[in-house]
């Protein structure tokens, strides 16, 4: 097991080549296929969602159903920072972000976006740090349902606060026309975040910390009895996941430009469960799995939206049930088992 | 919020009104929670689609009343429809989940919940629905306290259903088989009980109970395609507070939750009522876990 880990982090020429290819695709895809830029941005953010869910759910075995909490917090924190730096947030939301008085210049928009990202990551991380010790003591069903409740409670609360637009939601700042296509900027931000997420998770999981997380998943009581700092590790992993989820939420908010408290920000029945589905579909507890899962899921989702219009949500629900019941090992898990089977068969 | 508290202080009759309303709706919560506890105890599955069953029962009533049937007659119809649905869902999905890890069962039943709510929204529209019962209200204390007769009817029917379920579990052979499997599935199967059939019966029975509860609820309270999850969360919370296998506790916790929600809805404003339910769930779980932690145990 240890040697496999070392192998995974070593940079062989082949791996460098693959890395270069992925980078090139990521960098030039929106220039070559501008029609799919929006879907590609979403895909990159979905990869971050799935990876962040998997760090706690797959690697540590704490299956959270309320990670939308951090996504939504990030969205709102960023939007509030972006607006609040220059205007009164309450008035802005009262005017639904419209009118002539809420205009953002290029420098205002960019600095707001940068600061919003930082605020989103820090805000989500802070909330995770505070909630972690309370929530991560529960296991199994209780943790799952408790986090589900957290995500929905946050959405219902946000829908009742007029300062952030209450139930009618909040618009992110309108980018000035002098900036040109902001969608491209959002895409590269998402790409940067996804790369940072993959790289930092690959590093984290190759360290002793990654082993502690796996030990907690396999048998938490034994891990604790061995003297591993389980409580601290659990909270740390949750905070790391929350930071990435918050930042991804901030970018997602600016991507869709409109934050509905229960439909986009704290959307437990869509993004919240999709990220679980992506991680599971690709393969829980692997680094590659959530990435593969996000790609397959995004393709499936777009196909459903195109060919099953009106019934796409029903179809996605069916997909969740089917994957959860009949395909829990995921694509990567299945491929690994097949390959192992072949190797054992030949030797 | 402070203003509402003051109103409550100045008009104690209003407090009485809120308490009565809370107790009356609490019976619906109790019935749904009873069903959840049954499935949880027997199959070790948390049925996240519980609330959707309740809502679906309500929509069956809406359909029946649109066809000209009296609302009360719709209750057994809803129960029968949901029994069939529960049976079918068990054969298709749940049978593969018995004995599996909890994550699969929570995710799969959550998936069922999403499918059901989306189907309901497609078929019945995403608006609030209620069935007109045509019943009046009783008034007390100079019209300060009003009790809708239909809510009392719903309360009585829910209690009657709960009692008959308890009798069924306690007295009938099938009920005894269900309890035997809940206690020890292996021993029960050694003694010749077909556990798979018992699981199926339990799941279908739970769906029927939820359907009846929803059919009753639709007469006095609004139903909504997306309103199911809050019923699921309420049921879960009630079972956690009462403890698994404690029927009297379920009733008390459900009535208590009804009253708490009724007051919270008034004091905080109805827009925060759902937030209150979900927030309370988190508080209940955290408190319970904290209490266990002192004995170096935890919720699992």
Check A144 against B122: CB less than 8 A apart.
no
Across residues A259-265, what is the average pLDDT?
Answer: 90
Does the residue A3 lie in any domain?
no
Token pair, residue A114, equals 């940068």
pLDDT score recorded for residue B244 = 81
Is the pLDDT reported for residue A194 higher than 80?
A: yes
Closest by CA to B179, choosing from B169, B187, B193, is: B169
Q: How many domains does chain A have?
A: 1
pLDDT score recorded for residue A346 = 54
Residues of B whose CB is below 8 A from A63: 103, 106-107
Is the pLDDT reported for residue B128 higher than 50?
A: yes
What does the alpha-carbon distance between residue B257 and residue B249 come to, in Å, rounded to a whole number? 12
What does the alpha-carbon distance between residue A107 and residue A218 come to, in Å, rounded to a whole number? 50
Does the residue A325 lie in any domain?
yes
Residues of A whose CB is below 8 A from B36: none
What does the alpha-carbon distance between residue B266 and residue B248 come to, in Å, rounded to a whole number? 28
Q: Which burial class, exposed, middle or buried, applies to A99 when counting CB atoms under 10 A from its CB (0-12, 13-18, 19+)?
A: exposed
Does the residue A1 lie in any domain?
no
Residues 6 or more apart whose CB falls under 8 angstroms from that of B137 comprise B146, B147, B148, B149
Does the residue A303 lie in any domain?
yes
Exposure string for A207-222, b = 16+ CB within 10 A, e = fewer: eebbbbbbbbbeebee
Q: Which residue of A has its CA nearest to B282?
A: A146
Distance from CA of B70 to the nearest CA of A (A): 32
ipTM, interface predicted TM-score of the complex: 0.89
Is the pLDDT reported for residue A347 higher than 50?
A: no
Confidence of residue B81 (pLDDT cuts 50, 70, 90): very high
Is the pLDDT reported for residue A250 higher than 70?
A: yes
Report residue B102 CA to chain centroid gap. 21
In tens, the pLDDT along A286-314 reads: 999 999 999 999 999 999 988 888 888 89
Q: What angle do CA A170, A304, A193 make, to 5 degrees?
A: 50
Does the residue A15 lie in any domain?
no
A133 at B interface, C-beta within 8 A: no
Which phi and psi (to 5°) does residue A98 adopt? -95, -155
Does the residue A154 lie in any domain?
yes
Is the pLDDT reported for residue B293 higher than 90?
A: no
pLDDT score recorded for residue B187 = 92
Report residue A307 CA to chain centroid gap. 26
pLDDT score recorded for residue B47 = 93
Residues 6 or more apart whose CB falls under 8 angstroms from that of B125 comprise B225
Beta bridge mates, B148: B137
How far from A164 is each of A253, A268, A274, A315, B72, CA to CA, in Å? 14, 19, 26, 33, 44
pLDDT score recorded for residue A6 = 46
A63 at B interface, C-beta within 8 A: yes
Is the pLDDT reported for residue B299 higher than 80?
A: no
What does the alpha-carbon distance between residue A117 and residue A110 come to, in Å, rounded to a whole number? 11
Give the number of beta-carbon pairs within 8 Å between A and B.
133
Whole-number average pLDDT of chain B:
90
Q: Which residue of A has its CA nearest to B40?
A: A141
Q: Which residue of B has its CA nearest to A159?
A: B271
Long-range contacts of A95-104 (CB under 8 A, 24+ apart): A96/A165, A96/A168, A96/A171, A97/A170, A97/A171, A97/A173, A97/A174, A102/A173, A102/A174, A103/A174, A103/A176, A104/A173, A104/A174, A104/A175, A104/A176
Token pair, residue B136, equals 């009046």
Residues of A whose CB is below 8 A from B1: none
Residues 6 or more apart whose CB falls under 8 angstroms from that of A117 comprise A78, A189, A247, A250, A251
pLDDT score recorded for residue B258 = 95
Of B46, B96, B286, the CB nearest to A135: B286
Confidence of residue B109 (pLDDT cuts 50, 70, 90): very high
Of B97, B115, B282, the CB nearest to A146: B282
Q: What angle do CA B52, B56, B57 make, to 5 degrees?
A: 120
How far from A181 is each of A30, A116, A248, CA to CA, in Å? 12, 19, 20
Of A65, A149, A321, the CB nearest to B282: A149
Whole-number average pLDDT of chain A:
89
Does the residue A6 lie in any domain?
no
CB count, 10 Å around CB of A19?
12
Tell me what percent of the residues of chain B surpass a pLDDT of 90: 62
A161 at B interface, C-beta within 8 A: no
pLDDT score recorded for residue A120 = 96
Distance from CA of B228 to the nearest CA of A (A): 12
Question: Judging by DSSP bridges, how do beta strands B137-140 and B145-148 pair with one another?
Answer: antiparallel
Which phi and psi (to 5°) does residue A166 adopt? 45, -140
Does the residue A21 lie in any domain?
no
Q: What angle do CA A57, A61, A62 make, to 5 degrees?
A: 65
Tell me what percent of the residues of chain B surpass a pLDDT of 70: 98
Confidence of residue A344 (pLDDT cuts 50, 70, 90): low
Which phi and psi (to 5°) does residue B164 adopt? -65, -35
Chain B window 32-71: which residues touch A at a Cβ cutoff of 8 Å? 46
Across residues A239-249, what is the average pLDDT?
Answer: 97
| Residue-number span of the structural domain to which A306 is assigned | 35-346
Residue appearing with tokens 């929803």:
B214
Is the pLDDT reported for residue B138 higher than 90?
A: no
Q: Residue by residue, what is the 3-state secondary structure of chain A?
A: CHHHHHHHHCCCHHHHHHHHHHHHHHHHHHHHCHHHHHHHHHHHHHHHHHHHHHHHHHHCCCCCCCCHHHHHHHHHHHHHHHHHCCCCHHHHHHCCCCCCCCCCCHHHHHHHHHHHHHHHHHHHHHHHHHHHHHHCCCCHHHHHHHHHHHHHHHHHHHCCCHHHCHHHCEECCCCCHHHCCHHHHHHHHHHHHHHHHHHHHHHHHHCHHHHHHHHHHHCHHHHHHCCCCHHHHHHHHHHHHHHHHHHHHHHHHHHHCEECHHHHHCCHHHHHHHHHHHHHHHCCCCCHHHHHHHHHHHHHHHHHHHHCCCCHHHHHHHHHHHHHHHCCCHHHHHHHHHHHHHHHHHC
Closest by CA to A309, choosing from B120, B113, B122, B108, is: B122
pLDDT score recorded for residue B36 = 94
Beta bridge mates, B129: B223
pLDDT score recorded for residue A298 = 94
What does the alpha-carbon distance between residue A200 and residue A240 come to, in Å, rounded to a whole number? 10
Is the pLDDT reported for residue B1 higher than 90?
A: no
Angle between helices B12-43 and B228-242 (to 10 degrees): 80
Question: For chain B, what's the residue count?
Answer: 300
Token pair, residue A240, equals 């790391």
Domains of chain B: 2-293 (1.10.3470)
Of A317, A325, A326, the CB nearest to B114: A317
pLDDT score recorded for residue A10 = 63
pLDDT score recorded for residue A99 = 63
Q: Cβ(A75)–Cβ(A249) under 8 Å?
A: yes
Confidence of residue A3 (pLDDT cuts 50, 70, 90): very low
Across residues B148-156, what is the average pLDDT?
Answer: 91
**Alpha helices per DSSP H over B93-148:** 102-124
In tens, the pLDDT along B228-260 reads: 999 999 999 999 999 887 889 999 999 999 999
Is the pLDDT reported for residue B141 higher than 90?
A: no
In tens, the pLDDT along A94-108 reads: 887 666 678 888 889
Looking at residue B222, the DSSP 8-state letter turns out to be -
Residues of A whose CB is below 8 A from B293: 137
In tens, the pLDDT along A24-74 reads: 888 888 888 888 889 999 999 999 999 999 999 999 999 999 999 999 999
Q: Cβ(B277)–Cβ(B261) under 8 Å?
A: yes
Residue to substitute from A67, A145, A315, interface B, most B β-carbons within 10 A: A145
């Amino acid at each position: 097991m240890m040697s496999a880990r070392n192998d995974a982090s070593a940079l062989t020429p082949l791996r460098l080549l693959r890395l270069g290819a992925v980078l090139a695709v990521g960098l030039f895809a929106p220039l070559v296929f501008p029609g799919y830029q929006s879907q590609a941005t979403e895909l990159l953010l979905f990869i971050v969602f799935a990876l962040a869910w998997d760090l706690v759910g797959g690697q540590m075995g704490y299956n959270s159903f309320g990670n939308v909490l951090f996504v939504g917090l990030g969205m709102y924190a960023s939007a509030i920072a972006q607006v609040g730096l220059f205007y009164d947030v309450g008035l802005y939301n009262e005017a639904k972000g419209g009118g002539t008085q809420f205009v953002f210049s290029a420098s205002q928009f960019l600095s707001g976006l940068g600061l919003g990202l930082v605020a989103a990551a820090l805000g989500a991380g802070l909330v995770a740090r505070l909630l972690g010790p309370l929530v991560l003591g529960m296991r199994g069903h209780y943790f799952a349902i408790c986090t589900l409740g957290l995500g929905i409670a946050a959405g219902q609360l946000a829908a009742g606060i007029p300062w952030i637009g209450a139930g009618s939601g909040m618009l992110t700042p309108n980018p000035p026309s002098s900036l040109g296509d902001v969608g491209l900027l959002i895409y590269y931000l998402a790409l940067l975040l996804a790369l940072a997420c993959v790289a930092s998770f690959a590093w984290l999981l190759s360290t002793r910390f990654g082993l502690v997380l796996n030990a907690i998943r396999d048998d938490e009581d034994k891990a604790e009895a061995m003297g591993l700092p389980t409580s601290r590790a659990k909270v740390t992993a949750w905070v790391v996941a929350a930071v990435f989820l918050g930042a991804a939420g901030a970018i997602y908010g600016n991507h869709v430009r409109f934050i509905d408290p229960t439909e986009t920000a704290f959307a437990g029945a869509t993004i919240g469960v999709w990220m679980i589905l992506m991680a599971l579909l690709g393969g829980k507890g692997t680094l590659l799995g959530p990435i593969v899962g996000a790609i397959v899921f995004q393709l499936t989702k777009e196909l459903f939206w195109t060919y099953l219009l009106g019934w796409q949500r029903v179809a996605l629900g069916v997909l969740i049930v089917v994957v959860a019941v009949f395909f829990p090992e995921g694509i990567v898990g299945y491929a690994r088992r097949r390959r192992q089977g072949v190797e054992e068969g030949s030797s | 919020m402070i203003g509402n508290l003051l109103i409550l202080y100045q008009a104690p009759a209003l407090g009485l009104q809120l308490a009565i309303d809370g107790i009356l709706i609490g019976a619906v919560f109790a019935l749904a929670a009873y069903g959840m506890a049954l499935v949880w105890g027997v199959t070790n599955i948390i049925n996240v689609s519980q609330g959707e069953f309740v809502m679906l029962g309500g929509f069956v009533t809406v359909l029946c009343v649109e066809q000209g049937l009296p609302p009360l007659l719709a209750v057994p119809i809803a129960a029968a429809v949901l029994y069939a649905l529960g049976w079918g869902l068990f054969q298709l999905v749940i049978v593969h989940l018995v004995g599996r890890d909890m994550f699969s069962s929570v995710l799969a039943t959550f998936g069922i919940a999403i499918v059901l709510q989306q189907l309901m929204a497609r078929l019945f529209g995403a608006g609030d629905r209620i069935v007109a019962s045509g019943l009046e209200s009783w008034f007390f204390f100079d019209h300060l306290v009003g009790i809708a007769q239909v809510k009392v009817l719903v309360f009585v029917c829910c209690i009657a259903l709960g009692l008959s379920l308890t009798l069924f579990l306690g007295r009938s052979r099938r009920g005894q088989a269900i309890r035997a499997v809940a206690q020890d599935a292996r021993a029960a199967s050694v003694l010749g009980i077909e556990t798979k059939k018992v699981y199926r019966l339990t799941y279908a029975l739970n769906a029927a109970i939820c359907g009846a509860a929803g059919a009753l609820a639709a007469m006095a309270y609004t139903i909504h395609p997306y309103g199911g999850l809050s019923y699921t969360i309420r049921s879960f919370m009630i079972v956690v507070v009462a403890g698994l296998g404690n029927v009297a506790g379920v009733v008390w916790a459900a009535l208590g939750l009804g009253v708490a929600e009724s007051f919270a809805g008034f004091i905080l404003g109805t827009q925060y009522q759902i937030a209150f339910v979900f927030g309370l769930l988190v508080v209940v779980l955290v408190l319970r876990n904290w209490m266990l932690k002192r004995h170096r145990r935890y919720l699992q």
